[in-house]
Amino acid sequence: MMNDNFKSGYVAIVGRPNVGKSTLLNRLVGQKIAIISPKPQTTRNKILGIMHGDGFQAVFTDTPGFHKPKNRLGENMIKAVDESIGDADLAILVVEPTNEVSASEENIIKKIGKIPSVLVINKCDTTPRENLLSVIAKYNSLADFAAIVPVSARTGENVSELESVIKENLPKGPMYYPDDMVTDQSEKQIVSEIIREKMLYVLRQEIPHGAAVEITKMKYDGSKDGGMYNISANIFCEKNSHKGIIIGAGGKTLKKIGTLARQECEKMLECKVYLELWVKVKEDWR
């Protein structure tokens, strides 16, 4: 049945790395789908999350933050931002609660000028309320935002207000996706993101920006009680020395990555998981 009042649209979440875009997306969509990391630049792929609200549907694209291109990968990230703004009906610019607007934020503001945009001041749990007024005034002087909404993606504070603002600013439109769908990413992609997230977490500063994960096997075995997934993955790194770091003394580091990734996969897939990780050197995979 066609509902004339239904609203829908594509919403681009943009902002510098580490401002909390993925955390906010997960909050809005209600399921862990994007990588959250204490380190910047972990979201490499464009991830789609779908929010099903009362009388509306918002399809989110989570893009990596703007930064100067250093290599092809960097250029792709900027292209991803451009593309997601190009397709979008609404932009959400996520910033932190400070008065200092970085050059990359000013660039983003210029780019999103073409479509309606909402400014989200995230991490409001980290600053006293009275500080927000000057931040709001600062951004108000830079662009004509449809709304400015302070939130905390971490605590969930004011996120329901943001949901209403999103609905208000979406055009009338059809339900693009079935209402039980939260992402169009395949489970395989999500598993490889989980492995990458755990690798970054376990290795902290030590490693390799240039490491990629490839799932080589993902097979469901229904004969086991409660079901079980057999998953194999290759971790590609750039140098032999990186391989050593990822594996660790006596395989300890790799084991830790594997354990954390397996636990997260079991939660996501809701069954037992057998996870096998292989570390391989692939020079210049970029």
Residues that bind Mg ion (CB under 5 A): 21-22, 43
Does residue number 158 form part of the binding site for ligand GDP (CB under 6 A)?
Answer: no
Least Å distance between CB 27 and Mg ion?
13
Does residue number 45 form part of the binding site for ligand GDP (CB under 6 A)?
Answer: no
Q: Binding ligand GDP by CB under 6 A: which of 38, 128, 178, 222? A: 38
CB nearer to ligand GDP: give 155 or 216.
Answer: 155
Hey, what are 39's tokens? 């380190």
Q: Contact, 13 vs 61, CB < 8 A?
A: yes
SS3 218: strand
Residues 6+ apart with CB under 8 A from 127: 97
Least Å distance between CB 116 and ligand GDP?
21
Does residue number 210 form part of the binding site for ligand GDP (CB under 6 A)?
Answer: no
Query: Angle, to 10 degrees, between the axis of helix 240-247 and the axis of helix 187-203?
Result: 90
CB nearer to Mg ion: give 203 or 247.
Answer: 203
Does residue number 131 form part of the binding site for ligand GDP (CB under 6 A)?
Answer: no
- What is Dmax (Cα atoms) for the chain? 63
Which partner from the list ligand GDP, Mg ion, none does 282 bind, CB cut-off 5 to 8 Å by kind? none
Q: How far is CA 67 from CA 7, 173, 230, 282, in A?
A: 33, 33, 38, 26
Least Å distance between CB 16 and ligand GDP?
7
Residue type, 58: A
- Which residues face 230 on adjacent strands? 219, 274
Which partner from the list Mg ion, ligand GDP, none does 17 bind, CB cut-off 5 to 8 Å by kind? ligand GDP
Least Å distance between CB 149 and Mg ion?
19
Least Å distance between CB 40 and ligand GDP?
6
List the end-to-end C-alpha distance of the chain, in Å, as a whole number.
48
Does residue number 19 form part of the binding site for ligand GDP (CB under 6 A)?
Answer: yes
Which partner from the list ligand GDP, Mg ion, none does 251 bind, CB cut-off 5 to 8 Å by kind? none
Among candidates 237, 230, 243, which has minimal Cα distance to 214?
237
Q: Binding ligand GDP by CB under 6 A: which of 18, 230, 234, 263? A: 18
CB nearer to Mg ion: give 22 or 158.
Answer: 22
Q: How many other C-beta atoms are found inside a 10 Å radius of the C-beta of residue 173?
A: 14
Query: Angle, to 10 degrees, between the axis of helix 187-203 and the axis of helix 252-269?
Result: 140
State the residues that interact with ligand GDP by CB under 6 A: 15, 17-23, 36-38, 40, 43, 122-123, 125-126, 152-154
